[in-house]
Structure 1
Amino acid sequence: MSDPQILTEQMQQVKQRLAEVLAKAKQLGADAAEASMSKQQGLSVATRFGEVETVEFTNDGALGITVYQEGRKGSASTADLSDGALEQAVKAAIEIAKYTSVDPCSGLADAELLAYQPKDLDLYHPHTFTSEQAIDIAKATELFALESDERLTNSDGANFASYEGFKVYGNSHGQLVGYPSSRHSLSCMMIASAGDEMQRDYAYSVSRDYQDLWTPEQVGSIAAKETISRLGTRKIATQKVPVLFRADIANGIFGHLIAAISGGNLYRKSSFLLDALGDKIFPEHLNIVERPHILKGLASSSFDSEGVKTSDMDIIDSGVLQNFLLTSYSARKMQAQTNGHAGGIHNWQVSANGGDFDAMLKQLGTGLLVTELMGQGVNIVNGDYSRGAAGFWVENGEIAFPVAEVTIAGNLKDMFKSLALTGSDYDERGSIRTGSVLIEQMQVSGQ
């Protein structure tokens, strides 16, 4: 792992190389050009039953160059930053552009939308680990889990990873920006047995700053508790019931919203929310805001992958869809303006009206608590939703017993409109900060 000064020097060197590449592209006849490079270095270790399974050191990154010439686009990349390799990559991109179709919607983002002096969002918190220290962290996590209950008879092991790196982006509008970042993670997966039954579950933590990561004892203990709780599964009858998605998987519901309102699906007319801008698609209680500039945020960024500056944005206000998620290309296809979503979203926060997890269970009453989803049975074109699930049957607001091998089905339009409650039990380990989500009724297929 490098120290901060070395990483800063590396980033400055890459900025210089990007500037040279952009100048070379213009010199060789490109009308416009953009280039970027993301570099990552660090280590990842995996242990199982106290033995080391893998130790992986990472130090990689490649520079990508895209040129635009008379409405045509060509791209090339190289991991070799020598003068000869960079010139060859530029020439390759220009040569490729000659054979692509003219597309009036392609090109750089508009100059006035770019972030020329991006904010520092405190994303870089390096922490140096030797391989031995990383191994000890993983071993300790698994040991805490294994020693907590004799029914934990097997293990898929523990993994600890720590990475740091930087992203640099530049274009022929004169923008040349970048920032360093770090990411640390710790996970553990256990297997429990009771008679002929075996169940598996896991826990994980991820953060920009190692000091904010859950301890090995926390991760191991949660993994053990989650796994043990799944023993004793029963079948349930096929029926229509309320369904509560626990916070750690509820973000998937809003992940489908992201796909449905992303420009690429919209201009291709491949979304069930086509032309839904300004429509009430959720109940009035629901609000979703995007906050790209949260310090240390896992999805924070001052600019998107096209260099467009990010800003606070309402996505859903009182149930009404306020914005689509647009890149420069999709915006032009839709005769709109990009809003900084090339590369994804930036810290969504979902409002809460249902209280903590226990309060959400009480309001569920009798129904299904989903803690795991399987399969990919979601059709963004028409909104049809059908996925395998596991979790717990809840009676009178109390968890009664674990269930598995069920299928939950509905349509996303109906699910959105019948989203009765969102909890304050926020899961902050991803780009969507949401609590548990209660859907009024879904089809549950059991035995």
Structure 2
Amino acid sequence: MKSLQKGDEKLINAWAFYDWANSVYSLVIATAVFPIYYESVTNGNNGKVHFLGTDFNNTTLLSYSLSFSFLIVALLSPILSGIADYTGNKKKFLKFFCYLGSVAVISLFFFTGQDTLWIGILGTVLASIGFWGSIVFYNSYLPEIAYPEQHDRVSAKGFMCGYLGSLVLLGFSLTMVMKPEWFGITDPSLPARLSFLAVGVWWMGFAQITFYFLPNNVYHKKPEKDFIFKGIKELRNVLYSLKKLVALKQFLTAFFLYSIGVQTVILLAGLYGKKELGIDTSKLIIIILIINLVAIFGAFVFSRISEKIGNIKTLKITILIWGGICVAAYLLDAKNENIDLQFYGLGATIGMVLGAIQSLSRSTYSKLLPDTEDHATYFSFFDVTEKGAIVLGTFIFGFVGAITDSMRNSFFILAIFFLLGFIVLSFIKEPQEPNK
């Protein structure tokens, strides 16, 4: 096949299609179906489970497993990215993590209860590593498949494809779970397990389109044999250069601060709605659908706004809205007769700025990069920053909730991190000149 040129619409669409392929993991596995299924098959014995010779609370074990996967990705991605940049073979790394994640998700089909808990936990860890590991290399392609003036729209297109694809498969999965008789299913555990199987096949299958069109070794590198040492040296060089790139350092600082809020809200808003506000599970699923549907529109609208007023100003607008979301969540009262409608409205607002802040963060970081061939290594620091924000944000949320006996106060604290992110962004100049 003749290689497609940078900026080619077919190449951009192929890149964005990986979002269509992998986002089903984040919605079906990480957010909607698997957590509910996991809770249902491990809630015997008052939610106590036995794993690796130790007794755990079931939700605590799942939380520890995900934290462990984030730690592994945070440790590995900079090193592997340095090797990928040195050798020029980051598509191979993208494929490896894609296949690792999709096969791990498929393995969850065999997780049927406490006797197969090890499959559920191992599958959860490997699927998370596969997803987040592949995202590093996927994001790093953005400067190589599109020109700087295209980055906002291209990044938004990726997230829009992801939200749409995940909604399609989630709709199918929820139909199986809620109406198993339509499919002739009598085993109550089978619908959820079939949805895990579908996610893995969907992820692996649709990724082939991306793999077929994406280039490999764009800069025609010819690595020497000691590629591991040279890759680590590549990482060290990038780390040293970051010290001199003031705008990039400032952006990573701001990204870390507001990501503490964004990622924590994404992960724990459902738990807040269920335990603090008494929202039914069925209504929480509706809210998840609303968030992802509105996020498609939000990513599109704010990518256009950024073209008019610039990335930094647009990001600051989204951060202000996110701060308002946290304050609104703090003010919600479970006793209010309209609490369901209020939470739906909050979910729609989250959706509007969720796609926007994610796509704009990726494209802004890409625009701020220097003229470099080490895109994977640079984006690994972007990824590690986000993972660090997740770990700290979830810890702060839980800690504040524990000492105050209310998750409501945790949301108020998150608003402070959005304010700090806004302040740091205010010191960054808009990226003007193309640097690719």
How would you bin the TM-score normalised by the shorter chain?
under 0.3
Q: Which has the higher contact order (CA 8 A, sep 6+)?
A: 2
Which has the larger helix fraction? 2
Which has the larger strand fraction? 1
Higher Rg: 1
TM-score (norm 2): 0.28
TM-score (norm 1): 0.27
